[in-house]
Structure 1
Amino acid sequence: MLKTKPARPSRYELSQTQWERIEALLPGKASDPGRTAADNRTFVNGVLWVLRSGARWSDLPPRYGAYKSVHKRFTRWAAKGIWEQVFQSLIRDRGNEYLMIDSSIVRAHAQAANRKRGASDSALGRSRGGLSTKIHLAVDGQGRPVRFLLTGGERNDITQAPALLAGFKPKFVLADKGYDSRELVALIRSHGAQAVIPPRSCQQPRAYDKARYRLRNRIERCFAKLKQFRRIATRFDRKPSHFLAFLYLASIPMWTD
């Protein structure tokens, strides 16, 4: 008699450990007012399938439910800030010694640019290569995301640095030389932190901790992990709030493994 191997969970879905970390953070618990959402795990896994595969919502496998219902629920949660609330709950365990900041450009698909006339800021802009969005990211010392900001791809990195740093109290702030400015270094020092930023050749020489600067590769690895999700590597979503919600969801494995 042939022995069959036990079924392995889909690489598109949350593991049991990951699910247990976020289950109590989602709406629809028995203790919440209104209807109990017994299918939360199936729903979240369905959204993850779309996020990882990059497929259209209409291609969602039937095991996750009717695609229109899943999509509508995803957008409703995005509008209510539920994906962000889950993310904020997870990052409470972050380390405070290091904060690393950087940005990365993602190409926008044509359907992302198909916005309604008079729509608010879409976080889209013209950069080298065409229409794009820039993800501005802050991570902790382990390379886990702690803040996302979105702008058009043409925006300069340093313009978003103060907002990335706001509210955090690290001992060291790591960034590449694109963030080198007297104003930003002064801001970091005013917060009681040390700026680990190499000076640009056009600036006055300034000492920085080269040994600690080597840790900055962790934010590069974080971007690489995020872009394994195809709907982050390419922006398909017209609304920036939906693209941001996908970023929060893609961060869950990094905070729950």
Structure 2
Amino acid sequence: MSASQAFVLSTEACEAETKRYELSDGQWDRIASLLAGKAGDPGRTGADSRIFINGWPWVLRSGAHWRDLPDRYGKWTTVHKRFSRWRHAGIREQVFKTLTADRDNQYLMIDCAIVRAHQQAASGKGGRDQAPGRSRGGLTTRIHMLADALGRPSRFIITAGQVGEITQASSLPQGQSGDLVLADKAYSNALRQIIASIGAEAVIPSNGLRKIIIPHDERACAHRNHIGRCFSQMKLFRRFASRYDRRAVHFRGFVYLVAAMPWMR
């Protein structure tokens, strides 16, 4: 094989790997009408929106720096600038809210996950209260999440890694409706009261140290593995599994992006 042939094969392999991270036609159809910059919207109409938006999942999945973005998505500065503008305008939040409106509320599930913060997330400027904190696992960030019966993210809160699960759990089901709310034994009686206030039944195993064991539906509790599998799928995206961003608002933008993926299938 000549050097030129090897180069062509290498280039084709790289392009195939790059396209694997892009949105499929079905995924694009789910969100195209929800995005800013389409014809008829105020301001300038976006050109080739799908091309540069596909650059966001590439950065999210690969974990690479913005400046390493392949040329097929355009100038990395332009792609990054649009990402930042949409963050300030709250567009990703609105898209996520619209996608999650049609959820399966038979079961609501609450859980959290720890993500390790990369050393660059703790360096440079960024201000205080940016959500990386010291916990047993080192410098970490905690994602508190509510999921529907199919294990799709419905709401999340980002805190420092040392913040306890129960401190944020009471906010997650408020304003929601469902038949059952599933959680593990780390969640206390305070959450049971919140669950009762929305007209749902709490399915929470009792801590073994309790003198009086509170019964729960063990068959329904088995469905709680859906939210665990959801976190496992989300951690396939390296920009979520490792926090590289110094500022919490930047990291939150990527979390909205990865949380929307299950709703676009």
Tell me which interval the TM-score lies in, with the shorter structure as reference length. over 0.9
1:47 corresponding residue in structure 2: 56
Post-superposition Cα deviations, 1:160-206, rounded to whole Å, max 9, x if no partner, equal 11111111011100001011x22221221122110000000122201
1:218 is matched with 226
SS of the equivalent of 2:163 reads coil
CA distance in 2, matches of 1:39, 1:189: 48
> Does 2:31 match 1:22?
yes
CA distance in 1, matches of 2:261, 2:163: 29
Bigger mean CA deviation after superposition, 108-117 or 210-219? 108-117
Does the CA contact (< 8 Å) of 2:174 and 2:194 recur in 1? no
Query: Which residue number corresponds to residue 127 of structure 1?
Result: 135
Q: What does residue 177 of structure 1 align with?
A: 185
1:38, distance to aligned residue in structure 2 (A): 2.3
Q: Is the CA contact (8 Å cut-off) linking 2:109 and 2:147 kept in structure 1?
A: yes
Code of the aligned partner of 2:114: I
1:187 to 173, 184, 194: 194
TM-score under structure 1 length normalisation: 0.93
For residues 130 and 239 of structure 2, what CA distance do their matches in structure 1 show? 16
Report how many aligned residue pairs link the two structures.
249
Letter in 1 for 2:196: R
- 1:31 and 2:25 aligned: no
**Pick from 96, 105, 108: which aligns with 1:87?**
96
Distance 2:194 2:262 in 1: 29
Contact 2:110-2:183 within 8 A present in 1 as well:
yes
Select between 153-162 and 36-45 the one with higher mean Cα deviation.
Answer: 36-45
> Matches of residues 73-152 of structure 1 in structure 2 within 5 Å?
73-116=82-125, 119-152=127-160
1:198-233 per-residue CA deviation (whole Å, 9 max, x = no partner) reads 000122201000000000000001001100000000
Q: Is the 8 A contact 2:125 2:246 kept in 1?
A: no
Q: Hey, what's the Cα distance between the residues in 2 that align with 1:76 and 1:239? A: 15
Letter in structure 1 aligned against 2:190: E
Q: Which amino acid aligns with 2:159?
A: T
Aligned residue number for residue 63 of structure 1: 72
Return the alpha-carbon distance in structure 2 between the equivalents of residues 240 and 102 of structure 1: 20
5+ residue gaps, structure 1:
1-6
Q: Distance in 2 between matches of 1:129 and 1:120?
A: 21
Match of 2:235 among 211, 221, 227: 227
Residue 39 of structure 1 deviates from its aligned partner by: 1.9
Cα distance in 2 for residues equivalent to 1:177 and 1:11: 39
Cα distance between partner residues in 2 of 1:11 and 1:197: 39
Report if aligned partners of 1:173, 1:196 keep a CA contact under 8 Å in 2.
Answer: yes
For the 8 Å contact 1:90–1:255, the answer to whether it is kept is: yes
Aligned counterpart, 1:165: 173
The Cα of 1:252 is off from its aligned counterpart by 2.7
Unaligned runs of 5+ in 2: 1-14
Is the Cα contact below 8 Å between 2:107 and 2:181 reproduced in 1? yes
**1:43: Cα distance to partner?**
1.4
Aligned sequence identity (%): 53
Match for 1:52: what amino acid? R
CA distance in 2, matches of 1:102, 1:176: 7
Task: Supply the AA of the counterpart residue of 2:155.
Answer: R
